[in-house]
């Protein structure tokens, strides 16, 4: 049975990949249309398997925004490297329980192996006879979970009494500092941890949009004087909106001087560490206490692959440790039981896809993909400037924010709508604090070619001309 399903799948998957580039990027559909199609599935009786497979493929293609398309210039949602599709299928086949070492020894060690390699790229794991140090890392569902883990670990590190007593045992209110351009997962994490969003302080940024370390120092001092408890600072290494890299060295120094945890949110940007040419951009990350890094963004593996790294394993242990009477434990000293060391319990084998991609490509192969995307980002910025757009961000990472001179906020929004409606390319609007919205285009696919960049510039030009025509009539 599996044989015939997989055979059909192979046919369908290869056909999809062959036609993807020529298809459109996709766009709007209203929920009613989809609900009507699904209403036929009332589960009262079985349906034919081949028909089902065909229908799911047809509807998925019709009603998915094809973020894997080379002309999707969107939000860090890459196509999956082919080997990672095979990896995820193998994971589904063996379905190892990665919550406990005894059930999935191979999976656990694969993940450990990959995470130590990347930990070394981060500068957290030293080479040599005792490379372990106080390093620990684990796979997460994504950056959201990793960032929430960072907050939990930072709190446990600073206030061990929290493990039992909770926030009510603290002598004051903890404060977490982020830049004004930080990812909003920290708002969610503050609510989930019971800190509340009032615990979050948004530090002003400089003219490029990077956290101002002097402002950070000033805020920390003022909060201290007020009896609040500064706990953690987040340095975003590649902001979601404009690709800005916060001055992580200076931030780490402020943390050191004030006994605060320094967390690097490198969900997207972390991957440049696999590029010898560009890894220097993240210099200073080795001085942080923890890092969030998503494999499902710039490393092009399927979703559900975040990573959390730390140099302070004890704090994470305190955050998640517990004992049960029903999970068998491994009889090896240096293995961890993920269910008692991470936020998840039952967990799928997240690391295999990254292991196989790293093994197949090697660091040089990944470097080539990353460098090419950086070059295409630079090409896009240059071509937009040549065509008379105002490029408003400055970053070495491949994301470009821009506007048409003379076009107001409504105009920019209308322009983005026109591009999306064309289904030929996809870009989005970026709203920044205290600023007019701008248009945002990010190179997220390793399949992007110079022609795709040119095609985007052309679609944008047409949309702009269309707006100008509408304005005259």
Ligand X SMILES: *Cc1c(COP(=O)(O)O)cnc(C)c1O
**3-state SS class at 61:** helix
Phi/psi of residue 329, nearest 5 degrees: -110, 150
For ligand X, the closer of residues 140 and 412 by Cβ is 140
For ligand X, the closer of residues 143 and 302 by Cβ is 143
246 binds ligand X (CB under 6 A): no
CA angle 108–114–119, rounded 5-degree value: 120
Among residues 212, 246, 294, 452, the one that binds ligand X under rule CB under 6 A:
294
185 binds ligand X (CB under 6 A): yes
For ligand X, the closer of residues 76 and 366 by Cβ is 76
Among residues 144, 344, 393, 412, the one that binds ligand X under rule CB under 6 A:
144
From residue 168, give the alpha-carbon distance in Å to each of 172, 214, 231, 253, 343.
9, 31, 16, 30, 22
393 binds ligand X (CB under 6 A): no
Q: How many CA atoms lie within 13 A of 376 on its CB side?
A: 26
For ligand X, the closer of residues 8 and 428 by Cβ is 428
Segment lying near ligand X (by CB under 6 A), choices 6-14, 138-146, 190-198, 414-422: 138-146
In whole angstroms, how close is the CB of 146 to ligand X at the nearest point? 7
Phi/psi of residue 436, nearest 5 degrees: -65, 145
What is the side-by-side order of every strand in the sheet holding 428-430?
A: 390-391, 399-403, 438-442, 428-430
For ligand X, which residue has the nearest CB?
143
In whole angstroms, how close is the CB of 264 to ligand X at the nearest point? 10
Are 450 and 457 in contact by the 8 Å Cβ rule? The answer is no
Among residues 123, 142, 243, 398, the one that binds ligand X under rule CB under 6 A:
142
**3-state SS class at 99:** coil
Closest among 181, 179, 161, 182 to 171, alpha carbons compared: 161
Segment lying near ligand X (by CB under 6 A), choices 121-129, 194-202, 262-270, 335-343: 262-270
268 binds ligand X (CB under 6 A): yes
Q: Cα separation of 269 and 227, whole Å?
A: 35
Binding pattern to ligand X, positions 60-79, x when CB under 6 A?
----------------x---
Among residues 223, 265, 287, 424, the one that binds ligand X under rule CB under 6 A:
265
Among residues 69, 112, 121, 183, the one that binds ligand X under rule CB under 6 A:
183
The pair of three-digit structure tokens given for residue 22, joined into one six-digit string = 């020529």
**3-state SS class at 177:** strand
For ligand X, the closer of residues 100 and 445 by Cβ is 445
CA angle 76–350–302, rounded 5-degree value: 35
In whole angstroms, how close is the CB of 249 to ligand X at the nearest point? 19
For residue 127, the 8-state DSSP code is -
For ligand X, the closer of residues 112 and 297 by Cβ is 297
288 binds ligand X (CB under 6 A): no
240 binds ligand X (CB under 6 A): yes
Among residues 143, 302, 377, 437, the one that binds ligand X under rule CB under 6 A:
143
From residue 257, give the alpha-carbon distance in Å to each of 91, 221, 436.
45, 11, 37
Any idea of the CA torsion for 178, 180, 186, 190, to the nearest 10 degrees?
80
In whole angstroms, how close is the CB of 78 to ligand X at the nearest point? 12
In whole angstroms, how close is the CB of 26 to ligand X at the nearest point? 20
In this structure, the strands spanning 428-430 and 229-236 are unpaired
Closest among 432, 426, 422 to 465, alpha carbons compared: 422
Segment lying near ligand X (by CB under 6 A), choices 2-10, 140-148, 218-226, 332-340: 140-148
331-346 burial code (b ≥16 CB/10 A, e <16): eeeebbbbbbbbbbee
Binding pattern to ligand X, positions 299-338, x when CB under 6 A?
-------x--------------------------------
In whole angstroms, how close is the CB of 87 to ligand X at the nearest point? 18
In whole angstroms, how close is the CB of 238 to ligand X at the nearest point? 6
Segment lying near ligand X (by CB under 6 A), choices 9-17, 25-33, 142-150, 415-423: 142-150
From residue 382, give the alpha-carbon distance in Å to each of 227, 375, 387, 391, 457.
49, 11, 9, 9, 11
For ligand X, the closer of residues 112 and 183 by Cβ is 183
The pair of three-digit structure tokens given for residue 74, joined into one six-digit string = 């969107």
397 binds ligand X (CB under 6 A): no
Count interface residues toward ligand X (CB under 6 A).
14
Q: How many CA atoms lie within 13 A of 209 on its CB side?
A: 21
For ligand X, the closer of residues 47 and 192 by Cβ is 192
**What does the binding site for ligand X look like in residue numbers (CB under 6 A)?**
76, 142-144, 147, 183, 185, 236, 240, 265, 267-268, 294, 306
């Amino acid at each position: 049975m599996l044989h015939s399903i997989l055979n059909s799948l192979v046919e369908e998957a290869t056909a999809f990949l062959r036609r993807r580039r020529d298809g459109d990027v996709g766009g709007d559909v209203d929920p009613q249309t989809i609900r009507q199609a699904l209403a036929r599935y009332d589960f009262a009786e079985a349906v034919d398997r081949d028909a089902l497979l065909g229908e799911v493929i047809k509807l998925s293609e019709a009603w998915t925004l094809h973020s894997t398309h080379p002309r999707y210039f969107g939000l860090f949602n890459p196509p999956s490297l082919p080997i990672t599709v095979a990896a995820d299928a193998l994971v589904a086949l063996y379905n190892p329980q990665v919550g406990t070492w005894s059930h999935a020894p191979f999976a656990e060690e694969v993940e450990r192996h990959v995470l130590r390699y990347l930990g070394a790229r981060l500068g957290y794991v030293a080479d040599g006879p005792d490379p372990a140090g106080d390093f620990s890392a684990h796979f997460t569902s994504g950056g959201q979970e990793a960032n929430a883990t960072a907050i939990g670990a930072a709190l446990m590190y600073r206030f061990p009494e929290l493990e039992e007593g909770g926030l009510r045992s603290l002598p004051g209110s903890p404060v977490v500092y982020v830049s004004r351009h930080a990812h909003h997962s920290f708002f969610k994490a503050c609510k989930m941890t019971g800190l509340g969003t009032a615990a979050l302080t948004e530090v002003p940024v400089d003219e490029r949009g990077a956290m101002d370390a002097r402002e950070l120092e000033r805020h920390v001092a003022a909060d201290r004087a007020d009896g609040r408890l500064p706990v953690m600072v987040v340095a975003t290494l590649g902001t979601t909106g404009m690709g800005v890299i916060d001055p992580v060295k200076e931030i780490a120094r402020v943390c050191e001087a004030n006994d605060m945890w320094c967390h690097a949110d490198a969900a997207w940007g972390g991957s440049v560490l696999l590029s010898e040419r560009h890894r220097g951009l993240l210099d200073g990350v080795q001085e942080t206490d923890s890092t969030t890094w998503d494999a499902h963004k710039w490393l092009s593996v399927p979703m559900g692959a975040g990573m959390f790294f730390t140099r302070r394993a004890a704090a994470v242990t305190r955050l998640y440790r517990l004992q049960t009477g029903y999970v068998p434990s491994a009889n090896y000293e240096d293995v961890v039981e993920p269910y008692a060391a991470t936020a998840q319990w039952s967990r799928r084998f997240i690391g295999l896809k990254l292991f196989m991609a790293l093994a197949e490509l090697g660091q040089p192969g990944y470097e080539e993909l990353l460098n090419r995307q950086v070059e295409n980002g630079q090409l896009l910025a240059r071509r937009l400037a040549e065509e008379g757009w105002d490029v408003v961000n400055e970053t070495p990472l491949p994301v470009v924010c821009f506007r048409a001179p003379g076009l107001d906020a409504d105009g920019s929004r209308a322009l983005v709508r026109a591009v999306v409606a064309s289904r030929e390319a996809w870009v989005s609007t970026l709203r920044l604090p205290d600023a007019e919205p701008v248009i945002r285009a990010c190179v997220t696919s390793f399949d992007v070619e110079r022609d795709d960049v040119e095609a985007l510039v052309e679609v944008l030009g047409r949309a702009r001309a269309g707006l100008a025509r509408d304005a005259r009539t």
